[in-house]
Amino acid sequence: MAEGGAVPGHGGAGPGLALALVEGSAGRAARVGDPDDLVALARQVQQADDFVRANACSKLAVIAEQIRHLQEQARKVLDEANRDADLNHVACNLVKKPGNIYYMYRRESGQRYFSILSPKEWGTTPHEFLGAYKLQHDMSWTPFEDIERQDAEIAILEKLLSRQAALPPCTEPNFQGLTKSQE
């Protein structure tokens, strides 16, 4: 075999000769394609690399969005925990019972306290009204304006929990009952 992979006696590659024989690493003859085929293969490899990179970037973008959402949820949990701890330390001259609404006032001295009397029930409030909160059964506090929404969420969760006990074991993902029913 001549240098450069040309077949001896053919005097160069003619229009019909696109392949030449070369000796492979195992001593066998192998076909070497047209240089344009190598360029096409290189493009295909590059395109595959680009697709892999784009796919990985897309998946990472989804994960990054999930991380941002989890960070936002964690921040909200910490804010609520700080609020609940603060409210649990507000002065109160009665035993607080979960499920009740308590009204917070501030005395002229700056001391905050809870009362079971709303501003309407006072008539003329003796102190500055700061807000109303419902004490939940987990000893967390729900601001008055969120009570209706929170109670609705709790009712849905209790309904899901009671349905979950009735569901047969399933190894596949099951979204039954998690979407709004069309009744």
Give tens-digit pLDDT for 13-49.
444 444 444 444 455 544 556 777 888 888 999 999 9
> Span 5-16, mean pLDDT?
46
> Span 70-77, mean pLDDT?
96
Q: What is the mean pLDDT of the chain?
A: 81
Residue 50 confidence (pLDDT): 94
Report the percent of the chain where pLDDT is more than 90: 56
Reference 7, options 15, 16, 19; nearest CA is 19
- Stronger pLDDT, 5 or 137, i.e. the higher one: 137
Write the DSSP symbol of residue 144. G
Structure tokens at 109: 């001295």
> Span 70-97, mean pLDDT?
95
Residues 6+ apart with CB under 8 A from 80: 140
For residues 20 and 7, give the distance between their C-alpha atoms in angstroms, rounded to a whole number: 6
> Span 158-176, mean pLDDT?
71
Residue 183 has pLDDT above 80, yes or no: no
Structure tokens at 9: 């006696």
